[in-house]
Amino acid sequence: MRERTVVGFLAGAAPDLDFLVNLAGPVAYLEQHRGPTHSLLLTPLWALVLALGFSLIRKRRFHWSAYFGVCLLALCIHIVGDLITSYGTQILAPLSNWSPGWNTTFIIDPYLSGILLVGFLLSLYWRPRTSAALTLAAATALVGYQATQNRAAMDIARAYADDAGLAVERIAVYPQPFSPWNWKLAISEAEAHHLARISLRRSSPWPDPGEDAAWWRQILASYQPVQAPVWTRHSQFGSGREDALAREVWSHEAFDFYRWFADLPALRTVDDHPERGTCVWFGDLRFQLEGLTPPFVFGMCRRLVDEDWTLYRMRGGNPVEI
């Protein structure tokens, strides 16, 4: 039984080997991360490959079929564990790049991670079946509770949209770090997003931590009580000169990958550089956290009006040509 536990743990971690796609570049990473390795259609194939591998490692002490069921179950649990987050998981790859996310659980959730870790360690030294059942029950209860908080956050967002008379195209809420009660509310109009960060449990705002405070304090302080949310508007294309340039970049063929990837796309800035020329930058607001440099910021630059655009990404706050 202990061997099955270890095999399940290793098989469950296997899909995240797709981080190696990053070696092929940031565009390939966005297109393929949580892609084929996380596909429900390909799960039986990956389970077979892993089962054969474990059988060979064990010098065929057990037939591959003895490992197959454990590997298949572990892979499915991993995929479900990714589906509950906001990043998106291509469960129908390679037939479709549809990338759903259930938005119940933050991508790094200390409570869920703690439950799984304790359950794994407990299964090594106590009754494995009982440990697994208790772990599954605790994890399911946590995610179920987070789903109820998702619904509560959605109700708040809908109420604001109605009161403000917004021309709503979509409403979404995103789980946030540190607490199942922290949420980002997003109301999307045709070319703009209205965002607010709230805490479903706080009755008063956090004290202002100041610009020099630790990043985690800035994040925590950004979540306001339900009674006093701070809404901000983010344009997808900006205005004036920015608008024309942003639309040109957004519709560029080389930017196809980002139009597919970004859930809450918004113009970050249009700037002029002596070497790169005019640069137009977009970000995905679902990943924006107070006090941290946002990931997945991409843009295009050109030196002259009659030149084609060149693709760039922000890495550590510095533009890098792709």
Alpha carbon of 278 to those of 23, 139, 233, 249: distances in Å? Answer: 28, 49, 24, 11
Please give the single-letter amino acid code of residue 15.
P
Assigned token pair, 253: 């063929």
Alpha carbon of 266 to those of 94, 206, 297: distances in Å? Answer: 28, 27, 10
**What is the pTM assigned to this prediction?**
0.90
Assigned domain for 138 exists: no
Percentage above 90 pLDDT, the chain: 80
Assigned domain for 165 exists: yes
Distance CA 214, CA 221 (A): 11
Tell me the average pLDDT across 201-224.
89
From 235, 253, 282, the end of a domain falls on: 235
Question: Burial of 4 by CB count in 10 Å (0-12 exposed, 13-18 middle, 19+ buried)?
Answer: middle
Please check whether residues 245 and 227 belong to one and the same domain: no
Please check whether residues 97 and 10 belong to one and the same domain: yes
Taking residue 43's Cβ as centre, other Cβ atoms within 10 Å add up to: 20
Asked whether the beta carbons of 143 and 112 are under 8 A apart, the reply is yes
Angle at 255 between CA 253 and CA 257, to 5 degrees: 110
Query: Would you give the DSSP letter of residue 124?
Result: H
Confidence of residue 42 (pLDDT cuts 50, 70, 90): very high
Taking residue 125's Cβ as centre, other Cβ atoms within 10 Å add up to: 9
Number of structural domains found in the chain: 3
pLDDT reading at 200 higher than 90: yes
Tell me the average pLDDT across 231-245.
95
Please check whether residues 164 and 248 belong to one and the same domain: no
Contacts of 171 (CB under 8 A, 6+ apart): 154, 157, 158, 161, 185, 186, 187, 188
Please check whether residues 7 and 97 belong to one and the same domain: yes
- The single residue listed with the structure tokens 């906001």 is 86
Tell me the average pLDDT across 95-113.
96
Strands 265-273 and 298-302: unpaired
Please report the pLDDT score of residue 208 as a whole number: 84
Please check whether residues 254 and 186 belong to one and the same domain: no
Assigned domain for 316 exists: yes
Please check whether residues 230 and 247 belong to one and the same domain: no
pLDDT reading at 321 higher than 60: yes
Distance from first CA to last CA of the chain, Å, rounded? Answer: 48
Please check whether residues 207 and 259 belong to one and the same domain: no
pLDDT reading at 1 higher than 70: no
Assigned domain for 193 exists: yes
In three-state secondary structure terms, 282 is strand
- The single residue listed with the structure tokens 């010098």 is 59
pLDDT reading at 49 higher than 80: yes
Confidence of residue 171 (pLDDT cuts 50, 70, 90): very high
Residue 23's domain comprises 2-102
Task: State the chain's mean pLDDT as an integer.
Answer: 94
